[in-house]
Amino acid sequence: MNLIGTYVIVRSRIAGVHAGKVESFDPGAQTVTLTNARRLWRYYTRDKAGSVSDIAANGLDPKKDHQIGARLPRVTIVGPEGLELAEMTEAAAQSVLEWQTK
């Protein structure tokens, strides 16, 4: 699995949910570094499941008010067991990266 250079959503038990472009990924160490990254504090999906998979596939629900953190040039997430990376579509990535919290 080569995710370097692709946009993903990362869900970590401790660090929470982040979206950004993969700079590096070490599955053995459960470590991923994202560039152009944002933390998703409160978000709404287009389906009722509320899964990060839905955001990766379809983006944020445009009718809801999400709480998305500031854009960071780089963030490294070191996760305990259970680090999840979901590859995003280009449209889904733009919906997260361009979101303006009201």
Task: Look up the CATH number of the domain holding residue 49.
Answer: 2.30.30
The pTM assigned to this predicted structure is 0.87
Q: Which two tokens stand for residue 33?
A: 């570094």
For tokens 């998703």, what's the residue?
40
- Tell me, yes or no, whether 102 lies in a domain: no
pLDDT digits (tens, 9 = 90+) for 16-52: 999 999 999 998 889 999 999 999 999 888 877 778 8
| Count of domains forming the chain | 1
- What are the counts of helices (DSSP H) followed by strands (DSSP E) for the chain? 2, 6
- Tell me, yes or no, whether 44 lies in a domain: yes
Q: Which domain range does residue 58 map to? A: 7-97
Given a cut of 70, whether residue 102 has pLDDT beyond it is: no
